[in-house]
């Protein structure tokens, strides 16, 4: 990740000011920048840092993020539809209503913080790690996973199904009210999780458990 000394501080507190004329951002640090309702569709962010930024109702569809970081970023209504994230760290962020369906994540670490309503339906995820965070209503239906782990995380009402999950490791997570368990072929669960989720899995498969 780039250091502060290697980056240029973005001069405007409001990203929308003049943003449409510049679509490629290289080694820029956005410190406390307000991205609210900004349109940055298909913009490229190379070695950029968002620190304490606000992403309320931001449009980042088709944007490309590489070798950068989001630090203590907050936002409700974040659109990352069909965006690309590579070699990124999201640290201590609090995000909600994140639409990232059809996106591509590679070598991404999400550490700490909380993400509510994370839609990764149909996304492609390779070597992605969630560490010590809470994710509510995670949608991984139809996702193609090649290396996705959750260490010390709590997943509330995650949804699975019709995806490729051979690289999905849920053994380090606390799962609460998951849906689509029958579609988790190839995923890794701990023995304790399998025992804890036995009734829910049986119900999805139509199996009656006799006492």
187 within domain boundaries: yes
Q: Is residue 211 part of a domain?
A: no
Question: Each residue of 184-200: b (16+ CB within 10 Å) or e?
Answer: beebebeeebeeebeee
- Distance in angstroms (rounded) separating the CA atoms of residues 84 and 70: 14
Query: Is residue 80 assigned to a domain?
Result: yes
189 in any annotated domain? yes
Centroid of chain to Cα 55: 14
Count up the domains in the chain and report the number: 1
**pLDDT for 17:** 61
Q: Is residue 145 part of a domain?
A: yes
- pLDDT tens for each residue of the chain, 211 residues long: 778 888 999 888 888 765 667 899 999 999 999 999 999 999 999 999 999 999 999 999 999 999 999 999 999 999 999 999 999 999 999 999 999 999 999 999 999 999 999 999 999 999 999 999 999 999 999 999 999 999 999 999 999 999 999 899 999 999 999 999 999 999 999 999 999 998 888 888 788 777 7
Q: 85: domain CATH number?
A: 2.160.20
pTM across the whole model: 0.94
Q: Which domain holds residue 159?
A: 4-205
Q: Does 9 reside within a domain?
A: yes
Please enumerate in sequence order all residues whose Cβ is within 8 A of that of 189, keeping only pairs 6 or more positions apart, or say none: 170, 171, 197
On whether residue 210 sits in a domain, the answer given is: no
- C-alpha distances in Å from residue 200, one per residue of 74, 118, 143, 151, 171: 34, 22, 22, 22, 17
């Amino acid at each position: 990740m780039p250091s502060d000394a290697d980056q240029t501080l973005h001069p405007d507190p409001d990203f929308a000011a003049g943003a449409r004329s510049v679509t490629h951002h290289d080694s820029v640090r956005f410190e406390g920048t307000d991205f609210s309702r900004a349109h940055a569709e298909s913009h490229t962010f190379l070695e950029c840092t968002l620190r304490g930024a606000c992403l309320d109702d931001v449009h980042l569809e088709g944007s490309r993020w590489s070798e950068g970081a989001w630090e203590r970023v907050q936002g409700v209504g974040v659109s990352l539809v069909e965006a690309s994230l590579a070699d990124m760290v999201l640290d201590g962020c609090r995000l909600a209503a994140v639409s990232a369906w059809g996106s591509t994540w590679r070598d991404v670490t999400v550490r700490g913080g909380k993400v509510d309503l994370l839609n990764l339906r149909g996304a492609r995820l390779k070597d992605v790690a969630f560490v010590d965070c809470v994710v509510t209503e995670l949608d991984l239906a139809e996702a193609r996973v090649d290396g996705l782990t959750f260490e010390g995380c709590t997943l509330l009402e995650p949804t699975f199904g019709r995806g490729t999950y051979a690289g999905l490791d849920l053994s380090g997570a606390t799962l609460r009210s998951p849906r689509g368990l029958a579609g988790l072929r190839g995923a890794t669960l701990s023995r304790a999780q399998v025992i804890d989720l036995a009734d829910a899995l049986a119900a999805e498969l139509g199996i009656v458990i006799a006492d």
